[in-house]
Amino acid sequence: MPDEYRPTEWFEPLYRDAGESGAGPSWAHMETQPSFKAWLDQKDLKGGDRSALVVGCGMGDDAIELSSRGFKVTAFDVSESAIAHCNRRFPDSDVTFLQGDLFAENAGWAGRFDFVLEIYTIQALPPRYEDEVIGRIADYVAEDGQLLVVAIVGSEERSFESGPPWALTPDHIQTFQRRGLTVVDRIIREKASKKGDDVWITAFQRSTENE
C-alpha cells in the first residue's frame, strides 16, 4: 500500500456527486438497508428513549429507522457531503447527523450508546485498519448495550489488493469478543454477487460478565 494512501478520501467525491436520487454510492438504497430490515422484521426493537449511534451513516435512512422506533439517534459519517444529504433529506428529524471520523477520538462517546449500528463501514476500510476500527466501534457500546454489525463475510484471506470491499472473515467476530462483547444472535443471508460471500447480521451485547 502506498504511504500516501488515505483510506477514507474516496467517499467524499462519491457523495458530493450523488444526485437527489442517491445515484453514485453503490450501497445507497435510499431506504432502510435490506439486511438491517430483515433483522428488524424478526425483532420488536423499541428505543424507549434509549440512545443509538449509527456508524458511517451514509444517506441516513437507517438512522431515521431507529429514530422512528423511539431511539435518540446520533449518526455520523466521514463525508461532509453525506451529512449534507442527510440534513437535506430529513430536515425535520430528531436525528443528530454529524460529520465525524472513526479514526478520531470522539470525546464522550466511549461506553455511551445503548444501540450501535454498523453496516458495511469496516469492510470499506483496508484490512490493516480492522483491529482499530472494530475496537473503536465496540467501545461506543454502553454497559448492557447492543451492537448490530452487518458485514459481508467470506473465507478468502484479506489483502489490500482484493478490495474494496474487503469482505471480513469469521475471525472478525473474535475481535469484537476481545473487546468485551458477546454474540447474542446471528442471521446469515446468501449474497448472490460473489460466490462464497454471505451477509452476516450479528448482534452483540456488552455485559460486565465478559470483562
Q: What residues make contact with ligand SAM under the rule CB under 6 A?
A: 8, 11, 27-28, 33, 56, 58, 77-79, 82, 101-103, 119-121, 124-125
CB of 72 to ligand SAM, least distance (A): 19
Inter-residue contact 167 to 123 (CB < 8 Å)? yes
Report the residue number, 117 or 173, with the smaller CB distance to ligand SAM: 117
Contact yes or no for 150/118 (Cβ under 8 A): yes
Cβ 99 to ligand SAM, closest distance in Å?
Answer: 9
Nearest distance, CB of residue 47 and ligand SAM, angstroms:
19
Between 69 and 85, whose beta carbon lies closer to ligand SAM? 85
Please identify, using beta-carbon distances, which residue of 175 and 182 lies nearer to ligand SAM. 175
Q: Which is nearer to ligand SAM, 63 or 173 (CB)?
A: 63
Grid cell locating 11: 467517499
Q: Which is nearer to ligand SAM, 96 or 182 (CB)?
A: 96
Core vs surface per residue 161-186: b (16+ CB within 10 A) or e: eeeebbbbbeebbebbeebbbeeeee
As a whole number of angstroms, the distance between CA 112 and CA 72 comes to: 12
Query: What own/partner pairs with CB < 8 Å and gap ≥ 24 does 77-81 have?
Result: 77/11, 78/8, 78/11, 78/12, 78/102, 79/11, 79/12, 79/14, 79/15, 79/16, 80/12, 81/12, 81/15, 81/16, 81/18
CA distance 171 to 191: 19
Residue with cell 449518526: 75
Q: In sequence order, which residues have a C-beta less than 8 Å from that of residue 138 and are 6 or more positions away?
A: 147, 176, 179, 180, 181, 204, 206
Nearer Cβ to ligand SAM (8/177): 8
